[in-house]
């Protein structure tokens, strides 16, 4: 039977699985695919490209069956602060939730709540989680360092239960980072999470925006083929605030420039070559944003297949868990029988 808890009830969904708000990758098509399969899709508004956001919101508006498919919209908080008008556009689409990550959520919390949406805050430490809840977060996502994209280094196995201990009695806590199958979902639930958020696994799906070449690289990658660094931020002239770094697949570009970022900043020729590579989809130079869960990904199925496989596996594992806790029979008794 489906896993039902405070997250699924609050969001009105069948499975405790959410799509990470990946910038540009989590477009309307993928968002709808995840939500229609019983998970919860977050549109990845990222840095706030107004034209892109308007286009994708129009697709969502035209595709939702009588407005019955729930969805959310995710922003990079420090970037949204530069373009606060984008929140008005997002809220006009009547999302179930707004995702805020990397920055102070407080200026946006009340407008979101006034519009009838839930506030979801992604955090990378216990202190951030406590602060987010104090500022009005309805849900907290604990993002472990294994996650693709921007984050910090604390691993999921230590971070998640610590965040649950700190705020889990007040709001649902979800895990992001290192999850790609039902084993990860069941483990997260056993550690106190109410569900999981996945980016890399959904990137390697049929509906995800992006090149098939990027998706194939994720399928071929191992966990050791990712790197957390500032190489790609420097390369695209988009330096993030300390302490955030970005995890991507390693390639020729990281092999050349990791540890030489200051030199890279001064190399206009290298930065121009990087821009051309991004435009051309040359992933020997351009980044594929992916986390360590790439090691668990071996195919490029539909989002629905991902959710249904994952939910079934997790449900089976959780049902079997009590059997693992049974005391073994004494050897003599077992032999006599």
pLDDT at 228: 95
CATH class of the domain at 6-209+305-324: alpha beta
Domain spans in the chain, listed from the N-terminal domain onward: 6-209+305-324, 212-280
Looking at residue 328, its pLDDT comes to 66
pLDDT at 108: 97
The token pair at 192 is 């106190």
pLDDT of residue 66: 44
Strand partners, 142: 123, 175
Residue 270, token pair as written in the block: 């290298």
The rounded distance, in Å, linking the Cα atoms of 58 and 125 is 35
User: Angle at Cα 261 formed by Cα 256 and Cα 263, nearest 5°?
Assistant: 90
pTM over 0.85: yes
**Spatial contact of 292 and 223, defined as CB atoms under 8 Å apart:** yes
CA distance 148 to 202: 12
pLDDT digit string (tens) for the chain, length 337 residues: 789 999 999 999 999 999 999 998 999 999 999 999 999 999 999 888 899 999 999 999 887 554 678 999 999 999 999 999 999 999 999 999 999 999 999 999 999 999 999 999 999 999 999 999 999 999 999 999 999 999 998 999 999 999 999 999 999 999 999 999 999 999 999 999 999 999 999 999 999 999 999 999 999 998 789 999 999 999 999 989 889 999 999 999 999 999 999 999 999 999 999 999 999 999 999 999 999 999 999 999 999 999 999 999 999 999 998 877 776 666 655 555 5
**The pLDDT value given to residue 247:** 96
Q: What is the largest CA-CA distance in the chain?
A: 79
Predicted local distance difference test score (pLDDT) of residue 337: 53
């Amino acid at each position: 039977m489906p896993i039902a808890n405070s997250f699924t009830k609050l969001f009105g969904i069948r499975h405790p699985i959410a799509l990470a708000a990946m910038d540009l990758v989590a477009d309307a098509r993928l968002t709808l695919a995840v939500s229609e399969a019983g998970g919860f899709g977050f549109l990845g508004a990222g840095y706030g490209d107004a034209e892109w956001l308007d286009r994708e919101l129009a697709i969502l508006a035209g595709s939702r069956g009588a407005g019955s498919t729930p969805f959310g919209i995710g922003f990079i908080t420090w970037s949204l602060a530069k373009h606060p008008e984008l929140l008005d556009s997002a809220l006009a689409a009547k999302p179930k939730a707004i995702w805020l990550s990397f920055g102070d959520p407080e200026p946006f919390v009340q407008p979101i709540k006034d519009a009838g949406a839930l506030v979801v805050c992604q955090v990378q430490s216990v202190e951030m989680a406590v602060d987010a809840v104090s500022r009005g977060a309805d849900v907290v996502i604990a993002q472990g360092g294994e996650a693709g994209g921007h984050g910090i280094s604390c691993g999921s196995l230590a971070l998640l239960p610590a965040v649950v201990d700190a705020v889990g009695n007040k709001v649902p806590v979800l895990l992001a980072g290192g999850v790609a199958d039902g084993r990860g979902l069941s483990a997260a639930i056993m550690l106190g999470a109410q569900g999981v958020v996945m980016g890399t696994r959904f990137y390697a799906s049929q509906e995800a925006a992006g090149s098939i070449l990027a998706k194939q690289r994720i399928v071929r990658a191992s966990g050791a083929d990712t790197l957390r660094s500032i190489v790609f931020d420097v390369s695209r002239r988009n330096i993030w605030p300390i302490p955030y770094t970005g995890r991507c697949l390693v390639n020729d570009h990281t092999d050349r420039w990791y540890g030489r970022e200051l030199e890279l900043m001064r190399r206009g020729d290298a930065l121009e070559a990087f821009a051309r590579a991004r435009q051309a989809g040359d992933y020997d130079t351009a980044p594929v944003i992916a986390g360590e869960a790439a090691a668990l990904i071996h195919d490029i199925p539909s989002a629905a297949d991902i959710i249904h496989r994952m939910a079934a596996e997790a449900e089976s594992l959780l049902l079997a868990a009590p059997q693992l806790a049974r005391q073994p029979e004494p050897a003599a008794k077992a032999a006599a029988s």
